[in-house]
Amino acid sequence: MGRSKADVRTTYDRIAESYAQAKVEPWPEVVDFITDIPAGDLVLDVGCGHGRHSRPLALTGHRVVGVDVSRRLLLIGRKSTSSSNEFRSIEWVGADATALPFPDRTFDAALSIAVLHHLPSRDDRRLALAELRRVLQPEGKALISVWSFDDPQIAARLGGPPTNPDVEIPWRLSDGTTVPRPYHLFREGELEQLIIDSRLQGESFFRSGGNWFALARTNG
């Protein structure tokens, strides 16, 4: 299936308003991670979209830099938080996960939630994790999530279990039209190997709600 990072950006720009309305609540796994980060730390939210997880970070006293390729999602996030002092600590940056525009060792912690599975090649996915490692402080920690190949939700949406890890899952707009969203679905052990290849240190791995999660650190 031929696709590119530009296709992903186009897709999310097209569904931005509908997506932002549908995806409001932060994931509980992310909230748990956030509570362990000391207040005042500088946290990177890669693939922040409209700020679903940047907001709870700001509300718990963290300084946040949200990065996304979709300018429309960033605009929605910026507009919806601009009138509140509580969200002044969020900086919104348009950038690619595989080429983060920050110096080495900038951030205390990072989120990469539902990002890697949209990147079209294994090398892009490895590079995105290597970039996380580069911009994190020594002993900085990251929470990473990807969609699992055998999540029953996927079979339901595709009309049967996937036979290939690279799929397109439709997003339905309010007018009834659908926009295909490209995914690379992760098999068991695949995220662990990717983290090893990126030279991050995997601390723990767990499954929750059809997703694989990894808690990783940079070496000291």
| Residue-wise pLDDT tens digits, 139-150 | 999 999 999 999
Burial 46-71 (b: 16+ CB within 10 A, else e): bbbbbbbbbbbbbeeebbbbbbbbbe
Calpha distance 217→195 (Å, rounded): 10
pLDDT at site 8: 85
Percent share of the chain, pLDDT over 70: 98
Which phi and psi angles does 176 have, rounded to 5°? Answer: 95, -15
What pLDDT is recorded for position 108?
Answer: 98
- Give the tens place of pLDDT for each residue, 58-80: 999 999 999 999 999 999 999 99
Q: How far apart are CA 187 and CA 154, in angstroms?
A: 13
pLDDT at 5 over 80: no
Q: Is 32 exposed, middle or buried (0-12, 13-18, 19+ CB in 10 A)?
A: exposed
Residue 85 or residue 7, greater confidence? 85
Ordered by where they begin, the domains of the chain are 5-217 (3.40.50.150)
Q: Is the pLDDT of residue 214 over 60?
A: yes
Strands 178-184 and 166-172: antiparallel
Q: Would you place residue 1 in the very low, low, confident or very high pLDDT band (cuts 50, 70, 90)?
A: very low
